[in-house]
Amino acid sequence: MAINRKGTSSKVASLAADTLFKPGSSQIARKLAGSALSQSRTNRQTGAEMEDLASKVLRSDRYSDRTKALAGSVLSQSNKKR
């Protein structure tokens, strides 16, 4: 299996932490934030379920730029063979 060695940048990790602590954050934004943070400074890769969610967020007009930034980070850390 191809390994993706990309990790969450400190800027995105900060955005993810803010999202998790912000009371008004949506459930989807929190899921993406949790995934992004779990991949910070580790070799973990995005799972298929999170890939699908991130892809849907990026294709939709419903989500904020912050949520799309998290989705982009999560998607960029996915398994390259999928």
Question: Residue 2's pLDDT is what?
Answer: 57
How far, in Å, CA of 62 to CA of 53, rounded? 13
CA angle 40, 14, 67 (to 5 degrees): 95
Q: Both tokens of residue 48?
A: 């298929």
How far, in Å, CA of 16 to CA of 37, rounded? 6
Per-residue pLDDT for the chain (82 aa), expressed as one digit of tens each? Answer: 555 566 778 898 899 999 999 999 999 999 999 999 888 877 777 888 999 999 999 999 999 999 999 999 999 888 766 5
Question: Residue 46's pLDDT is what?
Answer: 84
Domain spans of the chain, in order of start: 10-77
How far, in Å, CA of 26 to CA of 63, rounded? 10
